[in-house]
Amino acid sequence: MSRIGKLPVDIPAGVTITVEDSEITVAGPKGTLKVPVQQNTTTKVEEGKIVVTRKDDQPESRAWHGLQRALLNNAVIGVTKGFEKKLEINGVGFRLSGGGKQIEMALGFSHPVKYTAPEGIELKVDKMEITVSGIDKQQVGQVAAEIRALKKPEPYKGKGIKYVDEYIIRKAGKAGKK
């Protein structure tokens, strides 16, 4: 058995699960998410839990089994609590403004950089910190990665956009002449 796949997913109060042939709909207080049904897996809702089983013991089926359970767990957490990632901007002259759906950043380029969030994602600005939040874990991570890619942190001074918990390995600068 898959160690992840065999664990049932608890359904908190206020969350409804609808299992159909091609997708599973998870609705909760924060919104609704649709999870595709993976091949060779069966999903059942029983006694306040979601149980995922697989049809055979092939290696590919075992992989789909764990994936299906993880996607359902992320959907349940997303519609109840939501997900968020925090980014930090470091650098002299770098500025940040906006919030909600659009932010504007001065990142050392000749022009200000504007970023508009997709539907379902909210951006909050607090001094030099950006908080990306939403109910879809994959989408929150993707938006955070896109914002970070606008100006990746460099290894000499650490200037750029980084995750709050990310550690930047520093390099030594040029060695002086003797």
Residue 1: predicted pLDDT: 52
* Residue 72 in tokens: 């359902």
Q: Residue type for 7, please? A: L
pTM over 0.85: yes
Q: What are the 10-residue block averages of pLDDT along the chain, 178 residues in total?
A: 81 92 93 91 91 90 90 95 95 90 93 94 94 96 96 92 93 80
Domain ranges of the chain: 9-80, 83-163
DSSP 91-160: STT-EEEEEBTEEEEE-SSSS-EEEEPPTTEEEEEETTEEEEEES-HHHHHHHHHHHHHTSPPPTTT--E
Residue 114: predicted pLDDT: 95
* The CATH fold of domain 9-80: Outer Surface Protein A; domain 3 (3.90.930)
Residue 2: predicted pLDDT: 61
* Residue 114 in tokens: 């504007």
Q: What's the CATH architecture for 83-163?
A: Alpha-Beta Complex (3.90)
Percentage of the chain modeled with pLDDT above 90: 75
